Chains A and B, each alone.
Chain A
Amino acid sequence: MAARDDPPTAASWWRPEVHAARRPFLLTRNRMAAAFRGWFAQRDFLEVETAALQVSPGNEAHLHAFATEAIGPDGALSPLYLRTSPEFACKSLLAAGERRIFDFARVWRNRERGDLHSPEFTLLEWYRVGEPYETLMDDGAALLALAAETAGVRRLTFRGRSADPFAAPERLTLAEAFHRFAGVDLLATVQANGDTDRDALASAALAAGIRVAQDDTWADVFSRVLVARVEPALGLGRPTILCEYPISEAALARPKASDPRVAERFELYACGVELANCFGELTDPAEQRRRFELEMAEKARVYGERYPIDEDFLDALTLTPPASGAALGFDRLVMLAAGAERIDSVLWTPVART
């Protein structure tokens, strides 16, 4: 049965003929969700359902939330947000004593819409207490293989690119990837204390033929090189694990013991598409507060707003044991396994176009 996905200009999804064409994607989605739940259950993970309404939606400079207001019995208003990830709640459950949990979390991100972005989507997060983040690399590879097996395909595909989910992923550090795909010596622009040298990275990017704006920060230039040269080259033929992010690019991850310039953070890619973001979790409340404040200062500078810091979460971090945690864009993996070109094609009811 040929499934078909329509561009955003196309007819409403509820038209029976449109729905019939989309339905094979949706059935693949359901089969994958069931298979994933089974996979986690076999490994003694508990499924948790965390609250979508939060005091803070997440404190990262470029993540934008949907805001709402709680109205008390006396009519008093207090701000609440739809979460951008279930991370604060899940780490608080680890503080409470849970050891292995997963959450098929519906999350919301504002200002994001496109073939790979829906303002409402499903982030599958899972956490392992007392286990290194390398274990999550194995988990990620196993879930890609399970996705393909469940969808009945041998390869993941997107926009003419493909990757073999049964092959062991290639592992690349950010430093290796910047060197290989852009000829840029990334860590030469990061100091031992994590501070970054904007001008050094900007001139390296320019030398590689990537335009830089005068008011670009180090992080902006980093993103330009990543988008222009690195991401399109990842996950071709087989999945890629891109690891060891500079510490300034990993707000919730802990530093790597042998090199504090980089953090225990990796991203899993297939077919040039970012699928999962994983951390050795930062559990130091003072350091976490410092990084949240830096992120919110940057958000205020660029977008003119900041989100509150969730003090209860920082309290919980005092009890959170060493752990590793992963967040996988479930809808994107469905797309790649089912062969869909747009995230809306794998959502039972896509969000209205605004």
Chain B
Amino acid sequence: MKKLIALLLAMVMVFALAACGQQTAPAGEQPAAEQPAAEQPAGEIVINFPSIWVGTDSKAEYMGKLIEAFNEENAGAIKVVVEEQTDYQAYRDKIRTTITTGSAPDICILDTTFDIKAYAESGKFMDLTPYLEAGWGDTFTDGAFDAWSVDGKVSILPFESAVFTPIYNTEILAAAGWDHFPATYDEFFQMAEDVKAAGYNVMGQMAGDNAWSSMLWYSLIVEAIGGKDVYANGLSDPAFVEAAKVLKEMYNYTFDGAVSATAGDVNGHFIARDTAIYLNGPWWIANFYKEDNAVDGKLLADVCEVAVNPGYGEGKGVGGLVTTVQGFLAAAKQDDPAKEAAVVKFLQYVTDPAHVSELALSSGAMFFVKYTPSPDTNVISQKVTEVANSAEFTILHVNGAFPTAFSTEFPAAVSALVLGEVDEQGFVDMLQTAIDNAA
């Protein structure tokens, strides 16, 4: 009898465990796309959109309104359900995993840390070429797809662009006796000496986290030295070693603890107005106008000016600009033509020039869409746009120009360089080895 009971108990356990596999998850843990299933009107197409443009992201507010408006306009037919993810790295990890496991979301946002070409070649994403050729493509800036199409087909849309140009605090430069931003890197380091002597940091550098600021500065220096064809021969171009020397020198003019610093430290110092120069993408411009960052009633924007990347000795980069694709829109391949049409409809809605104009106004971000900037666009954004428009050529930010392994290795390489663990050539070798290992 005891054995029979034992056997029954064991069977109950097995069935209970088996049932766990089918058990409905609590509402809060359900994929957002599945949440409204119970209330979903018959025939309504639900589009699952894990988004990073939420929370405190500068595009969050307008994107939220845009999606709400789209859902209202298409009530009963299409519903876009946003899965909010506020942590950028967690978002990337999630998207990467879902794509690898063959369960890519209906729409997602990619950036240059993804191997975009490989993803485009994978066939896991919707071919948007027919829709773009039918007229939608005219709304995008000229050549927007050139670098990202595969065999003439576009499956991953470059959407948010970024240009990187220094912005400086005029009061700090004035305190150091400078009424203009240096035009060359020689002059830049003279200015740096004066700013340092005046008791300020010159720029924020960071080798902690993803070393974002240092990577941006490295891109600018590489551009100044190597010019528009600097990536033609990969890292073997001497500009990369030369640029490493300049980057290392810059660490003499940043705040204490830059080797372990993160973006928060860099931003914090500039906001605290103890650092003269700031370098980041246009999405950060909104912070120049935040009351929270004002001192004595003066907004950060009131004391800042937009500069251009200085030239470098005999360098080839005068007049150049560093840019990147900050956000791609990608849509998973759909078996259902109706759902494919719904996804395209939403993408067309988001990339509509009128909506993009509003999005640019509210966020300060820039886009690969031909839109008329709002007359209410803030001054810093306007000046950044002027710099972008006057550029003679553009090159990609290093993190977009090389495979992901470059960016992953960069923090280790730059900290090794700054701490004297490797020389400039060793720094470049570390990056090259990382790329080779991933190849």
Q: Do A and B come from one complex?
A: no
Chain A: residues with CB nearer than 8 A to chain B? none
Chain B: residues with CB nearer than 8 A to chain A? none
